[in-house]
Structure 1
Amino acid sequence: MQRTGIWGKIFGALLGLLFGPKYIGFLIGLFIGHQFDKAYARKRNGGFSGFGGKNATNAERQAEFFNACFATMGHMAKAKGRVTENEIRVASTIMDRMGLQGESRRQAQNAFREGKEDNFPLEETLNRVRSRAGRADLLQFFLELQIQAAFADGELHPRERELLHVIARYLGFSEAQLEQRLQMQEAAFRFQQGGYHQQQGGSFKAPPTRDQLADAFNVLGVNDEASAQEVKRAYRKQMNEHHPDKLAAKGLPPEMMEIAKQKTQELQAAYDLIRKEKGFK
């Protein structure tokens, strides 16, 4: 557990006694001092809110990006009210998908818990992510990870949707861009849940239904009336944005590389399905 110190509480309480009604001033000063101690402890211990300075190393920036992702995810889990076992399970599932073990998993869990705190500085955190990460592809990855977390239980609560709009806005994405990503993720969720993936040898488990084929188009971000050229262009664009090697070169934390790999596999499966069913070369 993180220790917050006592000096802020002491000075806050003394100032409260000097400048306010005796007991009320003491309590207000004590509360303000406690908030100061927590902020100082987080900064001292390298928490996510100290998001890299100009002289931060690449490893430090990656660690801060990683922490901010899971802290925001923790804040997302609380969007519907009290954090339930299901929300905690969703976070654990994403950690499992990343293959997080040992210290990296503990860091993710600590950041997730910090995000659940009432005084979590969401706006400050997102502003720092945007200014420090810089790369549009990394910001998109950050947003998509939050969308995946929101969709992981199979539904999107209105408060989660509202919070996703806030996150997208601070990261520099428009409402239309977010809605497109939400549609793509919803299709991807159904695509995954339907077990529609490519088996060894290039064949699929079963002939696709009309809805499964429509989901494959939506995974690529195009409608089911798209031409072969439009499908190919969308596929190349999505692969370019999510390719693990390219994201790594732009600063994606190595702990998150597995998610990028899974996304490219999903895109490949959707493209191969469309190409097979529509007879595209």
Structure 2
Amino acid sequence: MSWWGKLAGGAFGFMMGGPLGALLGVALGHQFDRGVSSVRSGLEEQFEPGAQERVQMVFFTAAFSVMGHLAKADGRVSEDEIRLARQVMERMGLGGEQRRLAMELFNEGKQPGFDLDAVLDQFRQECRRRVNLIRMFVEIQLAAALADGEMHPAERRILLHICERLGFPRFAFEQLERMARAGTRYDHQAAPGSRGRSLEDAYAILGVEAGATDAEVKKAYRRLMSQHHPDKLVSRGLPEEMMKVATEKTQEIKAAYEQVKAARGM
């Protein structure tokens, strides 16, 4: 059974503890007060720290609560930002109950007392040595910040702080930011009636310069595909409900690589 199935069935209880456990408890209190069985049942079922299902629960809880905090970076949360958050959740393919829980966590992240550092510290501890999982977490926050096509300076400051707290190098974040911005343009360029995807953005998505050798392009492509392989990420703790994001990312990487290959005659 997935972490979501266990959670909905009451098997997880509040064994997670810490700030993330408190956030999830509050969010579940809102969601489960409509007659669903209490999540406090099944406290006797224990999971080893770092177990896949536990990490999936940690990732889901941290991802949406931090997203809510990020949305309030400029001091307020507008209707547009809430709409964009819902679009991100829709893009992930979250079902009705999952989306309601995600919105509750998003709302908790907006609260004045939200302890970002405590949440990030627990997330880092639970996801230790799962570098690609932390990278995907940062990518999801970047996607949320860029959902409207631009990034507020306050959002970028918080993203940089998130990276620092998670031990994610600044140069790696800046490369992800360039790739994410190019990916946003690349998606828009594929829309009907557009002039087509630019080769410049295709290179940026792969994280290489136009002057890179064929071997360097191929190496970058293989590395990115390995980092975003949906099954690998799920095995390391990405919630299955978020696999759609990883799948879309691999499709974007493949499209960019095919365009570069065609341009080079590889």
Shared fold, TM over 0.5: yes
Q: Choose from 74, 77, 80 the match for 2:74.
A: 80
- Which string of whole-angstrom CA distances, capped at 9 and with x for unpartnered residues, describes residues 1-43 of structure 1? xxxxxxxxxxxxxxxxxxxxxxxxxxxxxxxxxxxxxx8x937
Question: Matched residue of 2:232: which SS?
Answer: helix
Structure 1: runs of 5 or more not aligned: 1-38, 198-204
Assess, with a 3 A threshold, how the Cα gap between structure 1 residues 96 and 180 changes in structure 2: closer, same or farther. same
C-alpha displacement of 1:74 = 0.3
Contact kept, 8 Å, 2:182 with 2:205, in 1: the verdict is yes
C-alpha displacement of 1:106 = 1.2
Mapped to 1, the partners of 2:185 and 2:224 lie a distance apart of 19
- Which string of whole-angstrom CA distances, capped at 9 and with x for unpartnered residues, describes residues 39-88 of structure 1? 8x93792769xxx9854753233122101100000000000121001111
Q: Give the TM-score taking structure 1 as reference length.
A: 0.76
- Indicate the RMSD between aligned Cα atoms, in angstroms: 2.5
Contact kept, 8 Å, 2:27 with 2:104, in 1: the verdict is no
Structure 2: runs of 5 or more not aligned: 1-18, 29-45
**Aligned runs of 1:23-62 on 2, under 5 Å?**
42=22, 45=25, 54-55=48-49, 57-62=51-56
Question: Matched residue of 1:45: which SS?
Answer: helix
Mapped to 2, the partners of 1:193 and 1:94 lie a distance apart of 16
- Which string of whole-angstrom CA distances, capped at 9 and with x for unpartnered residues, describes residues 222-241 of structure 1? 01111111110000000000
Partner of 1:236: 222
**Aligned runs of 1:233-272 on 2, under 5 Å?**
233-272=219-258
Partner of 1:99: 93
Mapped to 2, the partners of 1:230 and 1:93 lie a distance apart of 35
Partner of 2:39: none
Bigger Rg, which one: 1
Partner of 1:166: 161
Mapped to 1, the partners of 2:111 and 2:167 lie a distance apart of 25
Mapped to 2, the partners of 1:95 and 1:196 lie a distance apart of 21
Q: Give the TM-score taking structure 2 as reference length.
A: 0.80
